[in-house]
Amino acid sequence: MKSNQWMSLLGLANRARKIISGEELVVKEIRSGKAKLVLLSADASANTAKKVTDKCKSYSVPVRMVESRDSLGQSIGKEARVVVAVLDAGFANKLKQLLD
């Protein structure tokens, strides 16, 4: 995985205010149809992972796994983050290319 590329792109999306992090907020954005892509850390709890992936399935939001909560948090200049939603289609599509 080209981790540095997706991380810097996510950082850019963060500075453009096009992402939201935190389980409750992400689920809200999935429901509202604003989430274009959800990034889930591979070390998320089983409970969180299931809740988020189920929600994404029912609303047809793509999900990509990233290696850890630390890399997810680090890429947006925050503490460890387990789940992040990308709210912009352009950023979402580019991130999907980098993570596939």
- First-to-last CA distance in the chain? 8
Domain that holds residue 50: 3-99
Q: Are 52 and 26 contacting, i.e. CB atoms less than 8 angstroms apart?
A: yes
- Any idea what the CATH number is for the domain that residue 29 is in? 3.30.1330.30
- Kindly report, residue by residue over 54-68, the tens digit of the pLDDT: 999 999 999 999 999
Domains: count for the chain: 1
pLDDT value for 3: 65
Cα(1)–Cα(9) distance, integer angstroms: 14
How does strand 19-21 pair with strand 83-86?
Answer: antiparallel
pLDDT value for 58: 97
Cα(71)–Cα(91) distance, integer angstroms: 18
Its pTM stands at: 0.94
